[in-house]
Amino acid sequence: MTEGTITLPRGTTSIVRTQIHGYLSTETRNVLIEDKQRMPDDSLVVGRALISPNTDGTFFINIMNPSNTDIQLKDKTKIAWATPIVNPEVQILAVHHQTTNGTTAFSNGMPANHILT
């Protein structure tokens, strides 16, 4: 949520100080920030980011206003989702998707049955 009233000028990108409501400093240190996927008529776009909030839950976020009008965000406006990353030491080694020719790994373009584990 935002801190204080903020005006986002039309056609600009702004870096805004925000805070995760109810954040405890003992919680996970890595958080994925994503846009709330608002209705199409809402021109506000929040940049996706992996952040480590301060102990009070504050951090900076990238917000874009691609519209032709200024947007005003009132104090404590909820503008993004914050998802804790529970196990940051776990890494994704390959992502698979189903195609008409079988499963293909994006990591190297080889069919999944050719990947050694």
Identify the CATH number of the domain in which residue 64 sits: 2.70.40.10
Residues 13 and 69 in one domain: yes
Give the separation between CA 114 and CA 19, rounded to whole angstroms: 46
pLDDT confidence of residue 86: 73
Give the separation between CA 101 and CA 112, rounded to whole angstroms: 11
Residues 46 and 91 in one domain: no
In the chain, what is the straight-line distance between the N-terminal and C-terminal CA atoms, in Å? 43
Within-domain flag for 1? no
For the chain, the 3-state helix, strand and coil shares in percent, each to the nearest 5, are 5, 40, 55
Residues 12 and 41 in one domain: yes
Residues 108 and 57 in one domain: no
pLDDT confidence of residue 108: 44
pTM more than 0.85: no
pLDDT confidence of residue 102: 56
Give the separation between CA 53 and CA 82, rounded to whole angstroms: 11
pLDDT confidence of residue 13: 93
Residues 79 and 104 in one domain: no
Domain encompassing residue 71: 6-86
Residues 86 and 28: beta-carbon distance below 8 Å: yes
Within-domain flag for 43? yes
pLDDT confidence of residue 87: 66
Residues 63 and 106 in one domain: no
The residue with tokens 């200024």 is: 70
Residues 92 and 76 in one domain: no
Residues 50 and 72 in one domain: yes
Residues 78 and 36: beta-carbon distance below 8 Å: yes
Which two tokens mark 115? 């990947």
Q: What is the pLDDT along the chain (117 residues), one digit of tens a residue?
A: 667 788 999 999 999 998 888 887 776 678 888 888 765 556 788 889 998 888 888 899 999 998 899 988 888 888 888 888 876 566 555 555 566 655 444 444 444 444 443
Give the separation between CA 89 and CA 96, rounded to whole angstroms: 20
Residues 24 and 76 in one domain: yes
Residues 99 and 46 in one domain: no
Q: How many domains does the chain have?
A: 2
